[in-house]
Chains A and B, each alone.
Chain A
Amino acid sequence: MSSAAIEFQHIHKTYVTPYKHWWDRLLKKPRSGLVALQDIDLRIEYGEFFGLLGPNGAGKTSLISILAGLSYATSGQAWVCGHNVVTDFRQSRRSLGVVPQELVYDPFFTVRETLRIQSGYFGLRHNDDWIDEVLHNLGLSTKANANMRSLSGGMKRRVLVAQALVHRPPVIVLDEPTAGVDVDLRRSLWEFIARLNKEGHTILLTTHYLEEAEALCGRIAMVREGRVVALDTTEALLARVGGAGLEEAFVQIMRDDRNARAAA
């Protein structure tokens, strides 16, 4: 089978609670764990705009973390552009740009320094032409020499997007990029991301704003309690509820799954 932009096979993830005392480790005391993902199989083709939806704690961020190498799967495997995220992590991470959910930044540096350093981590020197282009497209040109500390929340969010793009990754993952962001930035961000998608980038998006997912995503997976409970094109999902909107489809699918689980 040819490679996909993103592929998960039988991903399980259990977060084991750490030992409280060192002697528990020596005695190999059994530990409780939180099951975050159960047998996730997912294949996202090149050029797709894919939505990953689910309630809080469903496992969306866990899945993305495994893809990005921020976390190791308990079992199962994942690939980015055919590169295994564990055994071929250098290539898989080069192919992937991740916009994290939390608004994190390094207060020591300016916007341009932040982006230069991020380029350097990927081994890119003299990347300023591309950095300028990304800054321009995200409306950050005037802030290039501002310290990260001095930026507003929305501006910091834009820098996070820019950081994910410095190495021109073919696959871009956006983990709730519009949480707490004003209308203006949301619109300009989606225009930019849609353009990147048209140019061939694969986009994986998680969001709680279902109207955004409805407008942008070609295919959607819904996850609940660590399992994929629906996987279909946006159109097909909408057709299930007679075109009543993705929110209705989401609510219905979640309810059906809850009932099915309760019955089982």
Chain B
Amino acid sequence: MTPLQANPQVRSGFYTLLYKELLRFWRVGFQTIAAPVITALLYLIVFAQVLQDRLQVYGEIPYTTFLIPGLMMMSMLQNAFANPSSSLIQSRVTGNLVFVLLTPISNREFFSAYVLAAVVRGLSVGAVVWLVALLFFPLPVVAPVWVIVFAMLASAIMGILGLIAGLWSEKFDQLAAFQNFLIMPATFLSGVFYSIHILPPFWQGVSHWNPIFYTIDGFRFGFFGVSDSSPWLSLAVVSFVFVVLTVVAMRLLDSGYKMRL
């Protein structure tokens, strides 16, 4: 053996960390992609059956068609959150996060790898929900750029939140609390199942303070060309939230919060 010198190479460890994070959910694709798709379709079937003829949104658009982008976005949000949060908490509880912490991977690379993997998982789930839904219901796309932009930004936001939650939680039940008391209400009360215009004025006002509302609203604009708020306002809010969360997550990582004590 001729070791002695540390290997002078230049490639970043980011690619491998990203690859590992992708592999982690791909290997259990039945749980991480198929299961959420089934959940979304169940919502679609039940709500479409019950509400199809009772709810009118955006004029001529049938309720089922209206619902599909909402369900796609809800699945993307939840899965983008789940990917880094579950990965981090598992690695921390089992202790194998040390293998990443011992390497030259910087905090920025760490952040990018986890968030990008979350975006890929979010987009994969969203795309599969869409493809399966297309078998039953037609869904036109008016402005694909908006669809892609909001899908990516929303997944990234939830990926960062998942990263923060994964850093903050020390036990699985803390992570579950984060998910049940923050993520679930924020997604359910954001207009997945309805246009906020059918809400009483007070709850409309409340919805406008929920950043998740803007991800769904902007995403829906991409499909129908109509939405509750202007897509530019939605883009501004979502981008602002993205920047704020990025700053918070990077500060936590740089301070070594619960990782490098």
Contacts and interface: CB of A to CB of B under 8 A. Distances in A.
B261 A121 contact: no
Contacts of A133: 1
A15 B261 contact: yes
Q: B16, B95, B103 — which one has the most chain A CB atoms within 10 A of its CB?
A: B103
The bracket for how many chain B residues form the interface is 35 or more
A208 interface: no
A196 B16 contact: no
B99 A106 contact: yes
Contacts of A102: 95
A148 to B, nearest CB: 9
A51 B125 CA distance: 52
Contact of A122 (B2, B91, B104): B104
Interface string A164-180: 01011110000000000
A90 B106 contact: yes
A94 B6 contact: yes
Contacts of A38: none
A125 interface: yes
A123 B9 contact: yes
B211 interface: no
Interface string B28-60: 000000000000000000000000000000000
A175 to B, nearest CB: 11
Contacts of A72: 256, 260-261
Given A95-B6, A108-B23, A122 B103 contact: yes
Contacts of B104: 89-91, 93-94, 121-123
Contact of B11 (A69, A89, A98, A125): A125
B102 A117 contact: no
B99 A118 contact: yes
A81 interface: yes
Contacts of B94: 104-107
Interface of B: 1-7, 9-13, 15-17, 19-20, 23-24, 27, 91, 94-96, 98-106, 256, 260-261
Given A69-B260, A94-B6, A117-B20, 16 more contacts: A15-B261, A65-B261, A68-B102, A70-B98, A70-B260, A90-B104, A90-B106, A118-B99, A120-B17, A121-B104, A122-B7, A122-B104, A133-B1, A167-B6, A195-B1, A201-B3
Interface of A: 15, 65, 68-72, 81, 89-91, 93-96, 98, 100, 102, 104-108, 117-125, 133, 137, 163, 165, 167-170, 195-196, 199-201
